[in-house]
Structure 1
Amino acid sequence: MELRAFTLADAAVIRPWISGPTELLTWAGPGFTWPLDEPQLAAYAGEPACRTWTGVGPDGRLVGHASLRLDADGVAARLGRVLVAPGARGQGYGAALLTRVLTFAFAELGLERVELGVFAHNGSAVRLYERLGFRVGQVLPDVERVDGQSWSALQMSLAKADWSPGVG
C-alpha cells in the first residue's frame, strides 16, 4: 500500500464511504456534522498540527484514510479518522494502512507514543488496534447517545518501545 498526503480531490472519493450520520460519528467522533461536505474536509485537511493520508492500493484505487494529530511537544500523536473503503474491508488494507502510519510516526517523526479513541462497539477496529499493539488505558462510559443507545469509548495507546511493524 502506498501512503500519500490527503488532498481535497481524495475527499470526493472518501465522502461516499460514509453513508449517514451514525457512520460519520463512528469515523470521526463529534468533530464533523452530517452531511459531510467539502468545506469541513478542507478545514480538517488544513489543520497545521494534523497529518492526513490517503491509502492507495496496488491497483491505484483509493482504499483508506487516516490522520495523526501531533501534540504540542512533539512526543505523541493521536491517531484518528481511520477509514477503509467499503469494498476493500476485510482484505488487510486497514492493517497495511496503519502499519505505514505507525512506522512513519515512530521512525520518521520520532514519536514516543500514539494514542487513539474508538467506540467500544466497533469490534473490528478494536481487534485491529489490539493486533497492532495498542492497549486500552481508559474506558469512557456513555460518551454519546445514538438511536436510544449509549456508546462508550476506549482510549488506547501504543508506545514506540512496544511497536513491531511486522505485526498486524
Structure 2
Amino acid sequence: MTLPHPISLLPYRPTEDAPLLRTWVTTRTELITWAGPAFSWPLDDAQLAAYAADPGRHIWTAVSPGNHRVGHVSVSGTRLGRVLIAPEARDQGLGRALVSQAVELCFGELALPEITLGVWAHNTAALRIYEKLGFRTEEILEGVEEVDGVPWTAVQMRLTAPDR
C-alpha cells in the first residue's frame, strides 16, 4: 500500500529525541492520552531514560523526508503503544503512515504473531486508523482512568499477523 507521506522509523535516540518528545506532550491530559498512567506529570528526562532503557521495548522515532522528526511509537512484547505525532505534523495522514510502518516492523523484523494495543474510546481519529489497518476490538474497559473528574474508557484491539 502506498501512503501519501513517506516516513521512516529510526531507532529512538534518548539524547536527541527525548527533549523533542517532551515538547510534544505539554499537559497532563496529553500525557495520559499518549501513555496512559505509565508516566507521571510533568514528563521528565528520568522517566524517558527509564522508558528507553527497558530491554523488552523497541522504540522508534518517525522521520519524514528532510530528516524532520514527526512521530514516535514503541512496542513492548506484542503491545503497540506510545503512538504520537508531533503537533505541527498532525492532520496530514502521518498517523496512519506511522502505524503502518510499525505494523510492518512488528510482523517483519520482529516476527510477532500478533499486535495488541489499547486506545482511549474518545480518541476517534486513532480508532479509525487502527480499524482501517485491520485491528479489531477485543474488549472495552469502561472507566479505567479518571482524568479531571471524567472517566475514560479504553478499547483493547488486536491484529493477527498475515499468513506467511
**Counterpart-to-counterpart distance in 1, 2:92 and 2:19:** 23
Match of 1:59 in 2: 66
* Alignment partner, residue 84 of structure 2: 83
1:74 is matched with: none
2:138 aligned counterpart, secondary structure: strand
SS at match of 2:73: strand
Q: How does 1:1-168 map to 2 (within 5 A)?
A: 1-8=7-14, 9-70=16-77, 77-161=78-162
2:162 is paired with a residue whose SS is: helix
Q: Which runs of 5+ in 1 are unaligned?
A: 71-76, 163-168
- Size of the aligned set, in residue pairs, is 156
CA shift, 1:148, in A, is 1.7
RMSD: 1.0
Within 2, Cα distance between the matches of 1:63 and 1:78?
21
Output the amino acid matched with 1:105: C
1:89, 1:43 → 2: CA distance?
A: 27
Q: Tell me the SS of whatever aligns to 1:96.
A: helix
- Helix, strand or coil: the match of 1:140? strand
Q: For 1:47-73, what per-residue CA distance to the aligned partner results, in whole angstroms no more than 9, with x for missing partners?
A: 000000000011211000000001xxx
Which amino acid in the other structure matches residue 112 of structure 1?
P
- Structure 2: runs of 5 or more not aligned: 1-6
Q: CA deviation at 1:114?
A: 0.1
Q: Which residue of structure 1 aligns with residue 4 of structure 2?
A: none
SS of 1:161's equivalent in the other structure is coil
So what's the TM-score if we normalise by structure 1? 0.90
